[in-house]
Structure 1
Amino acid sequence: MKIVIMAGGRGNRLWPKSASSRPKQFIALTSDESLLQMTYRSLAQHLPERQLFVATAAKYVDLVKAQLPELDTDRLIIEPVQRDTAPCIALTALRFLRENDDEVIVTMPADHLIPDTKSLVDKLAEAEANAETGEAIVTLGVVPTRPETNYGYIHTVGNGSNVRKVQAFLEKPSKERARKWLEMPEVYWNSGIFIWKPSTIAAAMKRYQPDIWYPLLDAEVDWEDVYAKLPKISVDYAILEKSEHLFCIPVKFDWDDVGTWKSLERFSKSDEAGNIVKGNALLADATNNIVFSEKLQAIIIGADNLIIVATEEGLLVCHKSSESLLKQYVQQLEDKEGGKH
């Protein structure tokens, strides 16, 4: 079993600390190491490094090499440009199939936090055994511990079974619906971790996404031009929501995608007034704020329930209740900047 750590995303919900030039997976949020370093090195404690691969965009190759000098170049899978997870996974499958290697692979994000790596590896081995037969696609479904509205969910069937059939993917819910799902033992958080054979990926791509698979398969020249024209779509929408061969293994270990500024409240200590402060900041008459000032000295007076982040990339001042809007405004900003060139 090989593990392919996908490190090509953008992490807009943690702007401006996570930006296009240095996205979320390459920054240190919960420790002195980046999320990519933590993911790779924790897995390397339990598996031979020759089984660990990193898939990333060409623009991030130097970052990957700088943060993981122990990673051999032949264990890098490089996307010419960013086209979301479906093209990335198709490219990964094609790489192994062209080497006549159809062993089970794990595709997983670089930027999720799983402290108990040993339990993760044990569950991946269990999933591997199920993914070796037929066209089975296996995912790990995390047993929810709170009514989380920032995660996607998976609805399964098969009470009492260690391997459950996936009935449907569920979009990020309202608070009320998340509370309801928390009480349903057949509903799990979508971990984004999938276990399958390269030939299984190929078969699914041919069936559901021929516009991705066949251009990749046929590309011998103008490789970058072909990749740039592929549909930009996540693997969830492209394949997983359509597949009739998707199974889920429930897991109970701690898991978090550290996807928003408010998620830091689960990992960071706060002061007596409930403020989380990282960097150079002085707070007065301020409560329940998240403050991150990278270099500049900051003074915050009379503020409550705000997210305030200052980096070389930009400045964010946002009420916690409006944080869900951040991604769309960052996209507007990137679209505007892209139009200038």
Structure 2
Amino acid sequence: MKIVIMAGGKGSRLWPRSVDEKPKQFLALTSELTMLQQTYRSLSELIPIGQLYVVTATQYHSLVTEQLPELTLDHIITEPVQRDTGPCIALSALHFLRKEDDEVLVMMPSDQHVPHVQALTEALRAAEEIANESSNIVTLGIEPVRPETNYGYILASSAVDSTGARRVVAFVEKPDIDTAHKLIAERNVYWNSGIIVWKPSTIAAEMREHQPELWNGLLNAGDDVENAYGRLPRISVDYAILEKSEHLYTIPFGYAWEDLGSWASLERIREEEADRNGNIVHGVVHAFHSNRNIVFSEGRQTIVIGADDLIIVSTAEGLLVCHKSKEPILKSIIQDVEKRGGAASG
């Protein structure tokens, strides 16, 4: 089993801490290690480091080598440009198939908090067993603990095989809050973790069936990979393959898990650091008559008075003041500001 850490995303929902030049996976948000370093260190406890790879965009190649000096260059798979997880995973599969290497791959996001390493090991080994059978795809399904609109949902069958896996019946893309409430009230419903276990040959077969334009675009690129990659459709692997495949299983994972994609997720991980009024602060911050705020101040003293339930983030790249209830629309607003020529990036 090999593990490929996907480290090419932008992290717009953590603006202005996460920006294009240095997105969230290269930031230290929960400890002294960056998210990429934490993920790599945790996974190195599962398998030999010679089985660990990173796939990232060209613009972040130097950040990867800087933060993971032990990672050899032949273990870095480079995307010419960012094209979402569909092309990213196709490129990774092709990297190994061209070496006639069809060992099972774990495609793992770089921005997840999974403290129970032993439980993760057992789940991935079970997934590896299923993925080695025929052309199966296995995801880790997270048992939901709240209605969540930032994750996709997996609807699974009630039947369980000897490995604990369930066949996936359907995917539900990121729902509205009412739908999320209904989903978590059902049985055999899980969050989509984004952790996918499958063989390179399985990826190739699924791409040929469901995304022939994407797959053929890669195969026929020749020496023009940079330009060809930029012409590939920008599509997530969920839409490209997982929602369409008839060979999909999920292994329920009932341990602590967090996708570090938003200020709310960071708050949940760091909730034990909150002061007596529920404020979580970073930097030189003084909060008076204020409750349940997230305040991140980089490089300047910040004073907060009479504020409740706000996200306040001050960095050299910008200042964010956002009510927690409006955080779900932060990404779309940042994108809108960029389109209108604003300075926001992320």
List per-residue Cα deviations over 1:75-106 (Å, max 9, x = no partner).
00000000000001010010100000011101
- The separation in 1 between residues aligned to 2:326 and 2:140, in whole angstroms, is 30
Deviates more, 1:165-174 or 1:11-20: 165-174
Tell me how far apart the structure 2 counterparts of residues 251 and 37 of structure 1 sit (CA, whole Å). Answer: 23
Unmatched 5+ residue regions in structure 2?
none
Does structure 2 conserve the Cα–Cα contact (< 8 Å) formed by 1:159 and 1:186? no
Q: Counterparts of 1:200 and 1:46 in 2: how far apart (Å)?
A: 23
Residue 33 (str. 1) matches residue 33 (str. 2): yes
Letter in structure 1 aligned against 2:174: K
Aligned pair in 2 of structure 1 residues 325, 170: CA closer, same or farther (>3 Å)? Answer: same
1: CA distance between counterparts of 2:229 and 2:175?
33
Indicate yes or no: 2:318 matched with 1:314.
yes
Letter paired with 2:120: L
Question: How many residue pairs align between the two structures?
Answer: 339
Which one of 284, 289, 300 corresponds to residue 288 of structure 2?
284
1:287 CA drift (Å) = 1.3
Paired residue secondary structure (1:47): coil
Decide which moves more: 194-203 or 155-164: 155-164
Q: Return the offset for 1:298.
A: 1.2
| Residue matched to 1:332 | 336
Q: Which residue of 1 aligns with 2:43?
A: 43
Counterpart residue number, 1:15: 15
1:95-244 equivalences under 5 Å are 95-161=95-161, 162-244=164-246
Contiguous gaps of at least 5 residues in structure 1: none
Q: Structure 1: how far apart are the matches of 2:127 and 2:264?
A: 32
Report Cα offsets for 1:47-80 as digits up to 9, x if no partner: 1001000000000011111111111111000000
TM-score by length of 2: 0.95
Query: In structure 1, what is the Cα distance between the partners aligned to 2:28 and 2:180?
Result: 29
- Secondary structure at 1:31 match in 2: coil
TM-score, length-scaled by structure 1: 0.96
Give secondary structure in 2 for the equivalent of 1:32.
Answer: coil
Partner amino acid, structure 1, of 2:258: D
Structure 1 residue 151, shift from structure 2 partner: 1.6
Q: Secondary structure at the match of 1:282?
A: strand
Matched residue SS, 2:216: helix
Secondary structure at 1:296's aligned position in 2? coil
CA–CA distance in structure 1, aligned partners of residues 336 and 94 of structure 2: 34
Corresponding residue for residue 306 of structure 2: 302
